[in-house]
Structure 1
Amino acid sequence: MIDLRTIRTDPDLLRASQKLRGAPVEAVDEVLHADERQREAGRRFDQLRAEQKVLGKRVARAGEPERAELLERSRELAGSVKAAEAELAGADAALRAAQLAVPNLVEPGVPPGGEDDFVVLREVGRRPDLPGALDHVELGRRLQAIDTERGAKVSGARFYFLTGPGALLQLALLRLAIDRAVANGFIPSITPALVRPEAMEGTGFLGAHATEVYRLAADDLYLTGTSEVALAAYHAQEVLDLRDGPLRYAGWSTCFRREAGSHGRDVRGILRVHQFDKVEMFSLVRPEDAADEHLRLLRLQEEMLAAVELPYRVIETAAGDLGSSAARKYDCEAWVPSQQRYREVTSSSNCTTFQARRLGIRFRDTGGRTRHVATLNGTLATTRWLIPLLENHQRPDGSVHVPAALREHLGGSPVLSAGAG
C-alpha cells in the first residue's frame, strides 16, 4: 500500500510509476478522489459528534420546556450522526479499496517495458558442451527419480512424484539452502501452507494474480504459493525491535500455484507445476537499509548457484513484469541444456514498505517514532532447480554428477544413478 502522503504531495511520481508498469494512471486519481471524500466525510462526522456532545451538556442543565425541545433536537442529531458514521465507514472502505488497487512505487532505474524487456546484468559459469543432451524428464525416468505419468494419474496434469534419487536430491538441495541461510543469520522456519485472506491481501497476492491462488471456500483459507505470505503475516500488527539489525527468516514450505494463465506453456516435466517445495528468504529491515539488503539476498542466491555448480545469468526485471508488491526485482536464471536457454530459478524482490503498510508492521527508530519496515524476499532453492541440476550434470551413461556441496546430504555419493535411495 502506498503512503497517502506520497500520493497527496507528489501524485505525478506515482503516475510515472504506473506508466512504467503499463498500469492505469487513472488509479492514482481514484485514490486522490477517494481520499478527499474520506476526509470530507470525516470532517462532517467530527462536526456532528461535537454538536452532539455540546447538546448533551445543554440537555443535562436545561429545565422545562427547553429540555423537551433539546431532547427532540438530540434525537434528530443522533440520526444525523449515525448516517454520517455510516458514510465515513463507506468512505474508509472505498479509500482502502482504491489504495489496494495501486501497485508499489517502482524504484528509480528499473527498466521500462514488459516481460521481454529485462536487462541482463551478468552471465556466470561455463555452459556445458552436451551434444544430444537428455532433458530432465528422460533423465528422471532413467534414474527412477521423477514420475510425471503417475503424478498425472493420481492428481492430474502438472503433478508428479519425486522418487528414489529424485526425492533425495531435492531434500539435499533444500537442506543445503537452509544450512547456508542459517550460517548467514536467517532463522529457519517451517511455515503454514494455509493462511487467512488478510495475509494474502496484505502481501499483495489477491490483486491481478488472484486467479493463480488456490482457495478453500469452506474454510475461507488460501494455499500459499510461497512462504513469503506466512512470514510477512507472522509479524502483522507488531512493532519490531530492529536495534540489532534486520529480522531474517528462511521459510521451508510446500507451495501451490494454479498456473491458470499458463495453458499450453511448459507442459513437459516439472518446470511449471501446481505443487513444489521451496526455501524462501524473507527480511524485515529499516527502509533506508532495503537496497543493501536486496543486494545481500541476490549475493546469497548467486553463492548457492555457484555451490551446486550451475551456469546462470542475473537479470533485472522490467517494470511491467513486476508483481504488485515489488519495487525492484532481480532474477537468477540457470542454463537448461535441453532447451538451450536460461530459465528462472530464483527471484528476489524489494517490496519497500508496501506490504508492511497493509499488514501494520512497524519498528521504533532511534528518535522513538514508529515507522513501517521494509520487506524483502528471495528464493534460495526450489524443486525447479532439479531441472538444471540433472541436465547440466548428466553423464554419457545416464548417471548424474553430484556437486560436492550436496554430497553431505546424499550419503557422500558423487553420482546419482538408478536405484539410489
Structure 2
Amino acid sequence: MIDLKTLREDPDAVRASQRARGEDSALVDALLAADERRRSAVAGADELRAEQKRMGKEVGKSSGEQRDRLLAEAKELANRVKEAEAEQTAADAELERAQRAVSNIIEPETPHGGEQDYVVLKHVGTPPEFDFGIADHLELGTSLGALDMERGAKVSGARFYFLTGVGAQLELALLNMAAASATAAGFTLTVPPVLVRPEVMEGTGFLGAHSDEVYRLEQDDLYLVGTSEVPLAGYHQGEILDFTAGPRRYAGWSTCFRREAGSYGKDTRGIIRVHQFNKLEMFSYCPPEQAREEHERLLALEEEMLGKLELSYRVIDTAAGDLGDSAARKFDCEAWIPSQGEYRELTSTSNCTTFQARRLNVRYRDADGANRIAATLNGTLATTRWIVAILENHQLSDGSVRVPEGLRPFMGGIEVLTP
C-alpha cells in the first residue's frame, strides 16, 4: 500500500504515477475521500468516547433525580458511541480497500508507458556469430538428452517438461553457482515454503491485476508461489527489524509455479514460458533511504552472474505499465537468444519501496527509536530459463555445447556437453 502521508501531501504525484502506469487516476480521488471519511469517523468516535468518560464521572458524583437523568443520557450516549464505532469500522474497511486499489508510486526516472516503452540502459558483450546452421535450445536439449518435452506433456500437460541427465545437472549447477554467489555477497540462503496464506500472497501484491497467474488450492486456502519473493516477504511479517548491522538479505531457492494465463500461443516451444521452474531469488529489507543503493547492488550481482556465464545481454529500465502493482522501478537483464535473433528476459530486480512492507506490517527502529516501515527489494540470480541462453550461445558445430568456465566447477569439471 502507498503511504497516506505522501497521498495527502502530494496527491498529484500519485495521480501522475497512476497515469504513467496506464491505470485509473480516479482511484486516487476515491482514496482521498476514503481517507477523509475515516479521519472524520475517528474524530467523531473519539469525541463521543471522551464525552462518555466525562459523563461517567458526573454520574459517579450525582444522586437522586439528577443521577437518574444522567443515567438516561449516558444510555443514549452509549448508543451513539456504538454507532460511531461501527461507522469507524466501516470507514477503516473502505480505506483499506481504496488503498489496496492504488499501485505503488513509481520512481521519477521510471519510463512511462506499457510493455514496449522500456529504455535500454546499456549493452554488455557482443552476440556470438556462427559459421554453421544454429539449433535452438529445444533441439540442442533433446539431442543432449537434457530435455524431454513430450513426456512432460504426457505426465502433466502443455508447458511441462523433464530435465534429464546433463539437463538436470545444468540446472543444479546454475542454482548452486547462484547460491554460492549470494552467500559470498552476504545473503542468508533459505529454502522457503512454496505454499503461502492468502494474506502473504496479497501482501506482496500478487493478487491484484495478475491474480489469474496464481495457482490456488481452494480446499486449503493456500497459494502456490510464482517466486520465493512471496514467502521471503512474509518471513518478517508483523516484526520490527534491527538494521544496525545493515540490510537483511536473503536468497530463496524454490520451485515456482505460474499459470501463464493469457499467454496462449506465446513461447510454446521449449522452456522459455512454462508452468513450473526452479529459481534462486534475492530478497532485501532495508531503510527506505537505502533502497536505491540496494537496488543497484542486486542488479550488479545479476550482471556478475551473466558475465561468469559468458552471455551477451542488455539492461532495460522497465516502463511503468509493465511493473506490476508493487514495484516502483524494475531493471531487467535480457540475454541474446541466437535462434530468435533478439534479447529475452533472464532476470529482473525490483525496488518495491515500502509498498509490500506496509501491507505486511514489517517495520524497523530508526536512529531516534521510532518505528518506521521498511523497504523491500527482490532480484533473480538464476532460473531454469537461463539454460536456454547457455545452450544456444555456447553451441558448437557438431551439436555439442561448451560449458562456460565459471560454471564448470559446479558441473564437476565438465567442459563440453556432447550428444
TM-score normalised by the shorter chain: which range applies?
A: over 0.9
The aligned residue for residue 30 of structure 2 is 30
Same amino acid, percent of matched pairs: 63
Deviation at 1:407, TM superposition (A): 1.4
Whether 1:77 and 2:89 are equivalent positions in the alignment is no
Q: What one-letter code is carried by the residue in structure 1 that aligns with 2:359? A: R
CA distance in 2 between partners of 1:285 and 1:60 (Å): 52
Normalising by the residue count of structure 1, what TM-score does the alignment of the two structures yield? 0.97
Q: Which residue of 2 aligns with 1:57?
A: 57
For 2:122 and 2:209, the matched residues in 1 are separated by 31
Whole-angstrom distance in 2 between the partners of 1:80 and 1:264: 60
Give 3-state SS (helix, strand or coil) of 1:332's partner. Answer: strand
Give the aligned partner of residue 244 of structure 1: 245
Deviation above 6 Å: which 4+ runs of structure 1?
A: none
Matched, 1:285 2:307: no
Q: Distance in 1 between matches of 2:144 and 2:89?
A: 61
Query: What corresponds to 2:172 in structure 1?
Result: 171
2:406 aligned residue: 405
- Structure 1 regions of 5+ residues with no counterpart? none
Decide whether the 8 Å contact of 1:165 with 1:417 is kept in 2. Answer: no
Secondary structure (helix, strand or coil) at the match of 1:191 reads coil
Q: Which residue of 2 aligns with 1:344?
A: 345
Instruction: Give the distance between the partners of 2:345 and 2:56, measured in 1 at CA.
Output: 66
Instruction: Say which is worse superposed, 328-337 or 44-53, in terms of deviation.
Output: 44-53
CA distance in 2, matches of 1:111, 1:321: 10
Provide Cα deviations, 1:82-133, integer angstroms capped at 9, x if missing partner.
2211111110011011111111111112111110011111111121223421
Counterpart code for 2:51: E
> What is the alpha-carbon distance in structure 1 between the residues aligned to residue 375 and residue 72 of structure 2?
53
Tell me the secondary structure at the aligned position of residue 313 of structure 1: strand
Distance 1:152 1:80 in 2: 64
Whether the 8 Å contact between 1:48 and 1:77 is mirrored in structure 2 is yes
| Cα shift readout 1:114-164 (whole Å, capped 9, x = no counterpart) | 100111111111212234211111111111111111111111111111111
What is the CA-CA distance between 1:179 and the residue it aligns to? 0.1
Q: Deviations over 1:47-85 (max 9, x none)?
A: 221222222223333323333333333332222222211
What SS class does the counterpart of residue 377 from structure 2 fall into?
strand
Q: Equivalent residues in 2 for 1:18-417 (5 A)? A: 18-130=18-130, 131-417=132-418
What residue identity is the alignment partner of 1:197? P
CA RMSD of aligned residues (A): 1.2
Q: Deviations over 1:256-284 (max 9, x none)?
A: 11111211111111111111100011111
Matching residue's letter, 1:390: L
The runs of 5 or more residues in structure 2 that have no matched partner are none
Task: Give SS of 1:388's match.
Answer: helix
Q: Shift of residue 16 of structure 1?
A: 1.1
- Aligned residues, how many? 418
- The separation in 2 between residues aligned to 1:338 and 1:387, in whole angstroms, is 10
| Segment of structure 1 superposing worse, 213-222 or 73-82 | 73-82
Amino acid aligned to 2:206: F
Stretch of structure 1 that moved more, 202-211 or 50-59? 50-59
**Superimposed CA distance per residue, residues 244-265 of structure 1 (whole angstroms, 9 cap, x where no aligned partner):** 1111111101111111121111
> Aligned partners of 1:64 and 1:151: how far apart in 2?
86
Residue-by-residue CA offset, 1:151-185 (whole Å, 9 max, x unaligned): 11111111111111100000000000000011111
> How far apart, CA to CA, are the structure 2 residues paired with 1:355 and 1:257?
20
